[in-house]
Chains A and B, each alone.
Chain A
Amino acid sequence: MERDRGGLCETVAGRVEDSSLTSRILARASGRKKVEVGETVLARVDKVVIHDVTGPIALDVVEELKTRVPDPERIFVFLDHYSPSPSIPASNIHRRFRAFIRESGIRNFFDVGEGVCHQVMVEGLVKPGEVIVGADSHTTTYGALSAFATGIGSSEAAYAMLTGKLWFKVPEPLYVKVIGAMPEYACGKDVILSLLGVLGQEGANYKALEFIGPGLKSLSMSDRLTIANMSVEAGAKNAIFPLDDVTLQYVRSFGLSIDLSKLDYLKPFKVENPHYEVDLSTLEPMVAKPHSPANVAKVGDVEGTRIDMAFIGSCTNGRYEDLSIAARILKGRRVSRDVRLLITPASKRVFMKALEEGLIQILAEAGAIITPPGCGACFGANLGVAGDDEVVISSSNRNFVGRMGSPKARVYLSSPATVAASALTGHITDPRFFLRVGA
């Protein structure tokens, strides 16, 4: 495959099983020419991500083994879930991490306020073609940058931290062909919710969700990150987008130098028989109803559902583009008196850019409560917890029972545009209404 530069489309077409981007990355990382779907490989891991929820169990292991991490540069540590800490136990976890960082020589440490791990990692740290594991299920996000990235548990994170390797079963690819162009009102969230409606909660379990097709060029990096992020809600081991101009422009904007001659194997290619097809041009604003991200409906089907709390943020939709479309809807208007709208920029960089561009002013004037960067309300532990019988609309990724607070709360997931529109009216609202009037 690699000797035929530029002719990748023709060479790989039809050989679906052994030519997925995921297989190619895993083959290189395990020092092999080729790997077969279903076989187990021991692969080199380029980066390991841990945070303040899953990290402590990994630190227990490192301490129990009375050893030091051999290569601190591979390890990325984030205090993002309790940011800032809401409790004494969480503060003590943070103290422990800071001591560990001092002793271990880890330089890639992101303390409270720096942002959600997955957003910070895609701001110039993740490189195309890398193998990255994170003790967090949404590690799949980095597949938007043509990396193989998957979520693991804490023990495995410790194993990868201490050995630089991990075993993987080469996943079967599920090809999703994207056609058409994104309508102005649609977000990456509408794409992935539509897809989750088709796949269901375990439709991609153990599989690699590989996105292909001419429609990819109309998906921005922000959209791709959202889609890769929530692929895990269908059980996917990883999600991956091919390396194209959108990827290159994005990673280069963070000053990363990319040697294209070594990344030919990540370029787009044709697949004769994709498993699924998504036509972007027919997208409608979508929601996931309680209590599953795969329980999807069109916004129109639930329009009018009264809400108490609205949240824009998380590794799924807390980026500059998400705040920007919210600001377009909220500008010069006022959030309903019956709703609290919480906005948590996903990273400090996002926050600073939103500040410089005047978005924070627009959002705050409309009545939004702006919180420090981090996981925010998504995780149900701080910065806005839902009470009994409350209804929430959220741009985050999960609406399981109790996820955002009370087990009696009901959470709807949607794009940040739909959250903003709903915050204005006090009930679930199609964002097209405001985008048409206010644009």
Chain B
Amino acid sequence: MSLRRVEGKVLVVGDNVDTDVIIPGRYLTLTDPAELGKHALEGLDPSMPAKLREKNIVVAGKNFGCGSSREHAVLALVGAGVKVVVAESFARIFYRNAINRGLLVVEAPGIRQKVSEGDRVVVDFERNVIELLSGELVSFKPIAKEVLEIIEAGGLIEKLKKELQK
């Protein structure tokens, strides 16, 4: 895995952020991440896409990405420049979609109370910790082996390419 650490500013959102607010249904004829990215999290607040411009880490509460299976939700965040989503917990389809598309997702219980919007943090995948502004370290659950295999292959489709070549 080439990605050892991600450093950047955070956008903080709440619990149960569903895929309908991550990318509303009216945009689903789009598939280009850059186009989808212009509307990322728009359902929460129309100002969100602008706020995301200088931020690359989303910190969320419980059950991030619940609802529809639309992979567009992951593509929209990727298109908006998000590298990592750190949440208290994830809904399962979103979690799988994120892994498959190279969006890093880590579960760090308690994280939401410890950061404020605009904070600069470091997500360190070697130590499985998030380094906060204050220097405090918040640990996150190590990524499971089978999930890591997909990430290391460069996503599910890259993994599939290799499998089909065999």
Q: Which residues of A contact B (CB under 8 A)?
A: 40, 53-54, 56-57, 60-61, 64-65, 67, 81, 87, 89-90, 93, 134-137, 139, 151-156, 158-159, 162-163, 167, 201-202, 205-206, 235, 237, 292, 379-381, 398, 400-403, 407
Among residues of A, the one whose C-beta sits closest to the C-beta of B68 is A137
New A-B pairs, 11, CB < 8 Å, besides A53-B70, A60-B31, A153-B74: A53-B28, A54-B71, A57-B71, A61-B157, A89-B30, A136-B68, A139-B69, A155-B97, A380-B26, A401-B20, A402-B24
Interface centre among A67, A134, A401 (most CB of B within 10 A): A401
Known: A380-B25, A400-B20, A400-B21. A154 touches B71 (CB 8 A): yes
B72 is an interface residue with CB less than 8 A from chain A: yes
Interface centre among B29, B93, B161 (most CB of A within 10 A): B29
B160 is an interface residue with CB less than 8 A from chain A: yes
Q: Which residues of B contact A (CB under 8 A)?
A: 16, 18, 20-21, 24-26, 28-31, 43-44, 62-63, 66-72, 74-75, 89, 91-93, 96-97, 100-101, 146, 155-157, 160-161, 163-164
Report the separation of the CA atoms of residues A202 and B157 in the bound assembly, to the nearest whole angstrom: 29
Report the separation of the CA atoms of residues A401 and B26 in the bound assembly, to the nearest whole angstrom: 13
Contact A163 B163 (CB under 8 A): yes
User: Which residues in B have their C-beta under 8 angstroms from that of A235?
Assistant: 63, 66, 91-92
Report the separation of the CA atoms of residues A407 and B75 in the bound assembly, to the nearest whole angstrom: 21
Q: Which of A65, A156, A292, A381 contacts B164 (CB 8 A)?
A: A65
Among residues of A, the one whose C-beta sits closest to the C-beta of B159 is A159
Among residues of B, the one whose C-beta sits closest to the C-beta of A67 is B164
Known: A54-B71, A137-B69. A237 touches B16 (CB 8 A): no
Known: A163-B163, A292-B16. A56 touches B71 (CB 8 A): no
User: Which residues in A have their C-beta under 8 angstroms from that of B43?
Assistant: 400-402, 407
Contact B156 A159 (CB under 8 A): yes
Contact B160 A159 (CB under 8 A): yes
Contact A89 B29 (CB under 8 A): yes
Among residues of B, the one whose C-beta sits closest to the C-beta of A403 is B20
**Smallest distance from the beta carbon of B162 to chain A beta carbons, Å?**
11
**Smallest distance from the beta carbon of B45 to chain A beta carbons, Å?**
9
Contact A90 B29 (CB under 8 A): yes
Contact B63 A65 (CB under 8 A): no
Contact A155 B156 (CB under 8 A): yes
> 6 closest Cβ contacts across the A-B interface?
A153-B97, A89-B29, A202-B63, A153-B71, A400-B20, A137-B69
Contact A202 B89 (CB under 8 A): yes
Known: A151-B93, A167-B146, A400-B18. A137 touches B67 (CB 8 A): yes
Contact B70 A54 (CB under 8 A): yes
Report the separation of the CA atoms of residues A64 and B157 in the bound assembly, to the nearest whole angstrom: 9
Report the separation of the CA atoms of residues A139 and B93 in the bound assembly, to the nearest whole angstrom: 12
Contact A151 B160 (CB under 8 A): no
Report the separation of the CA atoms of residues A406 and B89 in the bound assembly, to the nearest whole angstrom: 28
Known: A65-B164, A381-B26. A155 touches B100 (CB 8 A): yes
Contact A398 B67 (CB under 8 A): yes
A–B Cβ pairs within 8 angstroms, 15 of them: A53-B70, A60-B31, A89-B30, A135-B69, A135-B71, A136-B68, A152-B93, A153-B97, A156-B100, A159-B156, A235-B63, A379-B25, A398-B20, A400-B43, A401-B44
Among residues of A, the one whose C-beta sits closest to the C-beta of B64 is A202
**Smallest distance from the beta carbon of A317 to chain B beta carbons, Å?**
18
Report the separation of the CA atoms of residues A400 and B21 in the bound assembly, to the nearest whole angstrom: 8
Q: Which of A81, A158, A402 contacts B21 (CB 8 A)?
A: A402
Among residues of A, the one whose C-beta sits closest to the C-beta of B29 is A89
Report the separation of the CA atoms of residues A135 and B69 in the bound assembly, to the nearest whole angstrom: 6
User: Which residues in A have their C-beta under 8 angstroms from that of B157?
Assistant: 61, 64-65, 155, 158-159
**Smallest distance from the beta carbon of A263 to chain B beta carbons, Å?**
28
Contact A153 B93 (CB under 8 A): yes
Report the separation of the CA atoms of residues A205 and B25 in the bound assembly, to the nearest whole angstrom: 23
Contact A87 B29 (CB under 8 A): yes
**Smallest distance from the beta carbon of A419 to chain B beta carbons, Å?**
20
**Smallest distance from the beta carbon of B62 to chain A beta carbons, Å?**
6
**Smallest distance from the beta carbon of B152 to chain A beta carbons, Å?**
15
Among residues of B, the one whose C-beta sits closest to the C-beta of A53 is B28
Contact B25 A403 (CB under 8 A): yes
Report the separation of the CA atoms of residues A28 and B100 in the bound assembly, to the nearest whole angstrom: 26
Report the separation of the CA atoms of residues A206 and B92 in the bound assembly, to the nearest whole angstrom: 6
Contact B160 A65 (CB under 8 A): yes
Known: A65-B160, A155-B97, A235-B66. A205 touches B31 (CB 8 A): no
Contact A202 B72 (CB under 8 A): no
**Smallest distance from the beta carbon of B21 to chain A beta carbons, Å?**
6
User: Which residues in B have their C-beta under 8 angstroms from that of A381?
Assistant: 25-26, 28
Among residues of B, the one whose C-beta sits closest to the C-beta of A154 is B71
**Smallest distance from the beta carbon of B63 to chain A beta carbons, Å?**
4
User: Which residues in B have their C-beta under 8 angstroms from that of A64?
Assistant: 157
User: Which residues in A have their C-beta under 8 angstroms from that of B70?
Assistant: 53-54, 153
Known: A56-B31, A380-B26, A381-B26. A137 touches B161 (CB 8 A): no
